[in-house]
Structure 1
Amino acid sequence: MNKKYVLILALSFFMVFKGMTQDIIIPIWPEKKIPNRIESNEKEEHKRNGILRISKVQEPTIEVYLPAKSNATKDAVLIFPGGGYGILAYDWEGTDIAKFLNGKGIAGIVVKYRLPSSKSQKDKHNVPLIDAQRALRLVRSKAESFHIDANKIGILGFSAGGHLASTLGTHFDEKVYEPIDEVDKESARPDFMALGYPVISFGNMTHGGSKKNLIGENPKPEMVDYFSNEKQVTENTPPTFLFHATDDTAVPVENSLLFYQALKDKGVLATMHIYPKGGHGFSLARNDDHLRGWTERMFEWIQSLN
């Protein structure tokens, strides 16, 4: 067998293998139809220093990881990475989570949502929610091709991504953009949501950076109330799973406590796990035997909903 043939065979094998394992990246919006967008010279940035940090997102996408059909539960989870509405901790609280979900037969879908930018957007405070609503509708519209159940689509958000997830869970039926195609006829209501050390309130217990980045330094009181999601819970808010560490000094645990109480008051199915230690931003917590149990508790909870 000559060297040229061996090289071609090896390259072909690599391409097939890569094609079998590659994730799917889909733009959330059709080209040149991104709501609230302002044309500018701002460029998207990707920086890796232990964690892949994406900032100045220009074209939002969903990155889809599907389990093998024989393992699939037909559940799907859209994942919103955190980063204080300034960056996205894209692998740490995004793609790593999606791959982990695949191991449980759940489709993991990472949302690369736009971050508030006065340079690239008008009414920037609405932009993350606009992208979140569209992402949920897009996934629901593709349920058949993704081999998922259109009525088993949940969301999972971490930190500021938890704020966005809880905003979607409480503002899913509000019109924040003009419909542009058939996708926008789909419901934007998640069937369930999980929130990890989430920013919930923009009151005294908030994370200052997330609040400032989304609604500015001196927001009007009605804007603060609108994005304090413990005040926006209704009987139609999706069932919710919360997990948080008591010693979180970045986003106080009271955020989860406030949201749990609001859910309870409205009769919404809610489960909460508060851990004594873990700090903030622990993701899968693979190095902590106790804390990493949140993943199994979440899987058990999702199964209980079915």
Structure 2
Amino acid sequence: MTISFNKLRAQSEVIPLWTTIPNNIETFEEQSIEQGDILKISKIKKPTLEIYAPSKRNATDKAILICPGGGYTTLAYDWEGTEIAKWFNSKGITAFVLKYRLPNSKSLKTPHKAPLQDTQRAIRWVRFNADKFGINPAKIGVIGFSAGGHLAATLGTQYNSKNNFKEEPLDSISARPDFMALIYPVITMKNNYTHIGSRNQLLGKKPTQALIEQYSNELQVTINTPPTFLVHASNDSTVPVENSLQFYKSLNDKKVKVEMHIYPYGGHGFSLAINQEGYLHTWLDRLDDWLKTI
């Protein structure tokens, strides 16, 4: 089913992320939008930010960049993107949903670099425009789900990765998030606990050991990694809970503030967990509590 993306998103502002898109090859590839139970977007050539602002009377000075998941193959754009943005708005937080380029696109020169390039650019754009949205530039975080959690963790640990394209003044702004929330995230690219589909899409089926280590974010934690909130389900059969456990240990070892909530049930991809049995939906209450402490 083909539908108009702009028509679907008419209630919010969508802005292009780049003036000149780096790491780009001109092709006839077209963006794909599939509307089922979840709005899925793939073959993204022009990354964007969709802006959700709370009412002025409820607004705080915090902001969040949202990275939907989808195994680096597609984006679960409403399930782990716009629905999440609305929840943040209910807490007075300005939310920016990132439609980032996926490494399976034919329009990329170096596929594995594109998602991080877009995420760095996104947080820089938000920080540059902080005054416009009433945001404190030192209170801008990132949240990611599944493969989007891997991307958020990559930003949090490798925010100062150098670019190999001609930079604009915007690209000199810090891309470090001030806090991270990682929800059932892919963390490692190592064989033991990785989500092999995400690894294959990001790094290819035969990645070098150097690439595996570079994108195994449990190995990239430093004392400058931002405070982190982790959520996972023990019975996640898609992305093993050891991903969060390993990242927690790395953060704790470096004395980075970290809070983790492991739920017994929930599987993978539960988003807001509204229709889940038990108390899984309370992860949002725990996130709300945590956000008030940082």
Q: Would you say same fold, with TM above 0.5? A: yes
Counterparts of 2:271 and 2:164, CA distance in 1: 32
Counterparts of 1:70 and 1:179, CA distance in 2: 41
Deviations 1:129-186 (A, max 9, x none): 0000000000101101111111100000000000000000000011134353222121
> Structure 1 residue runs of 4+, over 4 Å off?
none
Q: Is the contact between residue 73 and residue 104 of structure 2 (CA under 8 Å) also seen in structure 1?
A: no
What does residue 200 of structure 2 align with?
Answer: 212
Q: Report the aligned-residue RMSD.
A: 1.3
What does residue 163 of structure 1 align with?
Answer: 150
Deviation of 1:25 after TM superposition, in Å, equals: 0.6
Q: Residue 29 of structure 2 aligns to which amino acid in structure 1?
A: E
> What 5-or-longer segments of structure 2 have no aligned partner?
1-6
Report the TM-score when normalising by structure 1. Answer: 0.91
Report the TM-score when normalising by structure 2. Answer: 0.94
What does residue 6 of structure 1 align with?
Answer: none
The equivalent position to 2:13 in structure 1, one of 13, 24, 30, is 24
The equivalent position to 2:229 in structure 1, one of 225, 241, 245, is 241
Question: Aligned to 1:277, what secondary structure does the other structure show?
Answer: coil
Q: Is the contact between residue 244 and residue 273 of structure 1 (CA under 8 Å) also seen in structure 2?
A: yes
Answer with 1 or 2: which has the greater Rg.
1
The equivalent position to 1:261 in structure 2, one of 246, 249, 253, is 249
Q: How does 1:1-306 map to 2 (within 5 A)?
A: 22-30=11-19, 33-117=20-104, 119-178=106-165, 180-203=167-190, 204-288=192-276, 289-305=278-294
Counterparts of 1:282 and 1:43, CA distance in 2: 29
Deviation of 1:122 after TM superposition, in Å, equals: 0.9
Q: Is the contact between residue 126 and residue 176 of structure 1 (CA under 8 Å) also seen in structure 2?
A: no
Counterparts of 2:197 and 2:149, CA distance in 1: 14
Q: Residue 139 of structure 1 aligns to which amino acid in structure 2?
A: V
Question: Aligned to 2:202, what secondary structure does the other structure show?
Answer: helix
Bigger drift between 281-290 and 241-250 goes to 281-290
Q: Is the contact between residue 130 and residue 177 of structure 1 (CA under 8 Å) also seen in structure 2?
A: no
Inter-CA distance 118–59: structure 2 relative to 1 (3 Å threshold): closer
How many pairs align?
Answer: 284
Deviation of 1:118 after TM superposition, in Å, equals: 5.6
Q: Residue 216 of structure 2 aligns to which amino acid in structure 1?
A: S
Counterparts of 1:291 and 1:194, CA distance in 2: 16
